[in-house]
Amino acid sequence: MGDAATVTTTTTTITTGGNGIKRITPTQKTCVGVPQWVKVMIDIMQYQDCKIHSNTKDHKLDRFCINCVASFCSQSCSDHQEHDHIKIRRYVYNDVIKRPDFQKYFDCSGIQGYQTNKNKVLFLKRRKDSQHVKEQQQNMKDPCCNICNQSLLDASYCSIQCKVIYYTCHRFRLCFNPFFKLQL
Protein backbone atom coordinates (compact mmCIF):
# COMPACT_ATOMS: atom_id res chain seq x y z
CA MET A 1 0.00 0.00 0.00
CA GLY A 2 1.21 3.53 -0.58
CA ASP A 3 0.55 4.72 3.00
CA ALA A 4 4.12 4.37 4.26
CA ALA A 5 5.99 7.58 4.94
CA THR A 6 9.47 7.47 3.46
CA VAL A 7 12.18 9.78 4.74
CA THR A 8 15.61 9.95 3.10
CA THR A 9 18.58 11.58 4.78
CA THR A 10 21.89 12.29 3.02
CA THR A 11 25.31 12.37 4.65
CA THR A 12 28.70 12.94 3.03
CA THR A 13 31.64 10.56 3.34
CA ILE A 14 35.16 11.68 2.40
CA THR A 15 37.58 8.90 1.46
CA THR A 16 41.18 9.11 0.30
CA GLY A 17 42.30 6.76 -2.45
CA GLY A 18 45.74 5.22 -2.85
CA ASN A 19 46.79 8.08 -5.11
CA GLY A 20 46.01 10.72 -2.46
CA ILE A 21 42.90 12.04 -4.22
CA LYS A 22 39.96 12.74 -1.95
CA ARG A 23 36.58 11.44 -3.06
CA ILE A 24 33.33 12.81 -1.69
CA THR A 25 30.54 10.23 -1.68
CA PRO A 26 26.96 11.06 -0.65
CA THR A 27 25.37 8.28 1.37
CA GLN A 28 21.61 7.98 1.62
CA LYS A 29 19.73 6.31 4.44
CA THR A 30 16.05 5.62 3.90
CA CYS A 31 13.57 4.97 6.68
CA VAL A 32 10.14 3.64 5.90
CA GLY A 33 7.40 4.42 8.39
CA VAL A 34 4.59 2.13 9.44
CA PRO A 35 1.35 2.57 7.46
CA GLN A 36 -1.32 4.29 9.55
CA TRP A 37 -3.85 1.49 8.95
CA VAL A 38 -1.54 -1.01 10.72
CA LYS A 39 -1.46 1.18 13.84
CA VAL A 40 -5.25 1.56 13.76
CA MET A 41 -5.73 -2.19 13.27
CA ILE A 42 -3.61 -2.93 16.35
CA ASP A 43 -5.59 -0.40 18.40
CA ILE A 44 -9.13 -1.41 17.42
CA MET A 45 -9.01 -5.16 16.79
CA GLN A 46 -10.25 -6.99 19.87
CA TYR A 47 -12.37 -9.82 18.43
CA GLN A 48 -15.58 -8.35 19.85
CA ASP A 49 -19.22 -8.93 18.96
CA CYS A 50 -20.63 -6.87 16.10
CA LYS A 51 -23.31 -4.57 17.47
CA ILE A 52 -25.12 -4.35 14.12
CA HIS A 53 -25.35 -8.13 13.53
CA SER A 54 -25.55 -9.39 17.12
CA ASN A 55 -28.52 -11.64 16.34
CA THR A 56 -26.68 -13.67 13.64
CA LYS A 57 -24.45 -16.72 13.96
CA ASP A 58 -21.12 -15.25 12.81
CA HIS A 59 -21.12 -11.85 14.44
CA LYS A 60 -17.53 -11.40 15.63
CA LEU A 61 -15.57 -8.40 14.36
CA ASP A 62 -12.88 -10.63 12.90
CA ARG A 63 -11.88 -8.77 9.75
CA PHE A 64 -10.10 -5.50 9.10
CA CYS A 65 -10.63 -3.46 5.92
CA ILE A 66 -7.44 -1.71 4.84
CA ASN A 67 -9.29 0.66 2.50
CA CYS A 68 -11.89 1.76 5.07
CA VAL A 69 -9.52 1.39 8.06
CA ALA A 70 -12.25 -0.31 10.06
CA SER A 71 -13.16 -3.71 11.50
CA PHE A 72 -16.18 -5.67 10.29
CA CYS A 73 -17.87 -9.04 10.72
CA SER A 74 -18.50 -11.77 8.13
CA GLN A 75 -22.04 -10.46 7.62
CA SER A 76 -20.58 -7.26 6.15
CA CYS A 77 -18.19 -8.95 3.69
CA SER A 78 -20.27 -7.88 0.69
CA ASP A 79 -19.71 -4.21 1.64
CA HIS A 80 -15.93 -4.74 1.44
CA GLN A 81 -15.81 -7.19 -1.47
CA GLU A 82 -13.61 -5.00 -3.68
CA HIS A 83 -11.43 -3.82 -0.77
CA ASP A 84 -8.21 -5.21 0.66
CA HIS A 85 -8.93 -6.85 3.99
CA ILE A 86 -7.31 -9.15 6.53
CA LYS A 87 -9.00 -11.86 8.59
CA ILE A 88 -8.14 -12.00 12.30
CA ARG A 89 -8.21 -15.43 13.93
CA ARG A 90 -8.02 -16.67 17.52
CA TYR A 91 -5.18 -18.86 18.76
CA VAL A 92 -4.58 -19.60 22.45
CA TYR A 93 -6.80 -16.64 23.47
CA ASN A 94 -4.82 -14.25 21.26
CA ASP A 95 -5.56 -12.51 17.98
CA VAL A 96 -3.43 -13.82 15.12
CA ILE A 97 -3.14 -13.19 11.38
CA LYS A 98 -1.99 -15.67 8.75
CA ARG A 99 1.50 -14.63 7.75
CA PRO A 100 0.93 -15.04 3.97
CA ASP A 101 -2.16 -12.81 4.17
CA PHE A 102 -0.40 -10.04 6.08
CA GLN A 103 2.92 -10.03 4.24
CA LYS A 104 1.14 -8.85 1.09
CA TYR A 105 0.74 -5.49 2.85
CA PHE A 106 3.47 -5.30 5.49
CA ASP A 107 7.08 -6.44 5.90
CA CYS A 108 6.82 -9.38 8.32
CA SER A 109 10.55 -10.05 8.55
CA GLY A 110 11.79 -10.40 12.10
CA ILE A 111 8.39 -11.28 13.57
CA GLN A 112 8.18 -14.68 15.28
CA GLY A 113 5.81 -16.99 13.42
CA TYR A 114 3.83 -19.80 15.02
CA GLN A 115 2.30 -22.90 13.49
CA THR A 116 -1.41 -23.54 13.98
CA ASN A 117 -3.65 -25.84 11.92
CA LYS A 118 -0.96 -26.10 9.24
CA ASN A 119 -0.84 -22.30 8.92
CA LYS A 120 1.97 -19.95 9.86
CA VAL A 121 0.48 -17.13 11.97
CA LEU A 122 1.70 -13.93 13.62
CA PHE A 123 0.44 -12.55 16.91
CA LEU A 124 -1.23 -9.18 16.43
CA LYS A 125 -0.45 -7.96 19.95
CA ARG A 126 2.20 -8.93 22.43
CA ARG A 127 1.34 -11.61 24.93
CA LYS A 128 1.26 -10.96 28.64
CA ASP A 129 3.36 -13.28 30.74
CA SER A 130 3.11 -14.17 34.39
CA GLN A 131 5.81 -12.92 36.78
CA HIS A 132 7.22 -16.47 37.05
CA VAL A 133 7.79 -16.69 33.29
CA LYS A 134 9.44 -13.24 33.22
CA GLU A 135 11.88 -14.27 35.97
CA GLN A 136 12.81 -17.41 34.01
CA GLN A 137 13.36 -15.37 30.84
CA GLN A 138 15.70 -12.94 32.60
CA ASN A 139 17.88 -15.85 33.71
CA MET A 140 18.09 -17.36 30.23
CA LYS A 141 20.30 -16.16 27.41
CA ASP A 142 17.83 -17.09 24.69
CA PRO A 143 16.86 -14.57 22.02
CA CYS A 144 14.07 -12.25 23.10
CA CYS A 145 11.81 -9.57 21.67
CA ASN A 146 13.45 -6.16 21.19
CA ILE A 147 10.49 -4.45 22.86
CA CYS A 148 8.90 -6.66 25.54
CA ASN A 149 11.63 -9.29 26.18
CA GLN A 150 9.29 -12.18 25.30
CA SER A 151 11.37 -15.32 24.73
CA LEU A 152 11.71 -16.14 21.02
CA LEU A 153 13.15 -18.86 18.83
CA ASP A 154 14.62 -17.03 15.86
CA ALA A 155 13.16 -13.55 15.55
CA SER A 156 13.49 -9.96 16.78
CA TYR A 157 9.81 -9.32 17.61
CA CYS A 158 7.14 -11.47 19.26
CA SER A 159 4.24 -9.72 17.52
CA ILE A 160 3.20 -7.22 14.87
CA GLN A 161 2.59 -4.70 17.66
CA CYS A 162 6.18 -4.94 18.93
CA LYS A 163 7.62 -4.43 15.44
CA VAL A 164 5.36 -1.40 14.95
CA ILE A 165 6.44 0.04 18.32
CA TYR A 166 10.08 -0.43 17.38
CA TYR A 167 9.73 1.19 13.97
CA THR A 168 7.60 4.11 15.13
CA CYS A 169 9.49 4.91 18.35
CA HIS A 170 13.04 3.73 17.92
CA ARG A 171 13.80 3.42 14.22
CA PHE A 172 12.74 7.02 13.47
CA ARG A 173 15.12 8.36 16.12
CA LEU A 174 17.98 6.17 14.89
CA CYS A 175 17.72 7.72 11.42
CA PHE A 176 17.99 11.30 12.60
CA ASN A 177 20.04 11.05 15.77
CA PRO A 178 23.32 9.13 15.34
CA PHE A 179 23.96 9.30 19.10
CA PHE A 180 20.65 7.66 20.05
CA LYS A 181 21.10 4.49 22.03
CA LEU A 182 18.30 1.93 22.21
CA GLN A 183 17.41 1.59 25.88
CA LEU A 184 14.59 -0.56 27.18
> What is the reported pLDDT for 160?
95
pLDDT given at position 37 = 92
**pLDDT score for 77:** 74
pLDDT at 92: 85
Question: What are the residue ranges in the chain where pLDDT is below 50?
Answer: 1-13, 22, 24-31, 130-132, 174-184
Q: Encode burial over 39-50: b for 16+ CB neighbours within 10 A, e otherwise.
A: bebbeebeeeeb
Residues 6+ apart with CB under 8 A from 115: 121
Residue 182: which of 169, 23, 126, 73 has the closest Cα?
Answer: 169
Write down the pTM of the prediction: 0.70
Asked if residue 131 lies in contact with residue 138, where contact means CB atoms within 8 angstroms, the answer is no
Question: 24-73: per-residue pLDDT in tens?
Answer: 444 444 445 788 999 999 998 877 778 777 777 777 888 899 998 988 88
What was the pLDDT predicted at 183? Answer: 39
* pLDDT value for 139: 55
Sheet strand arrangement including 63-65:
70-72, 63-65, 85-87
- Name the residue type at position 39: K
pLDDT at 172: 53
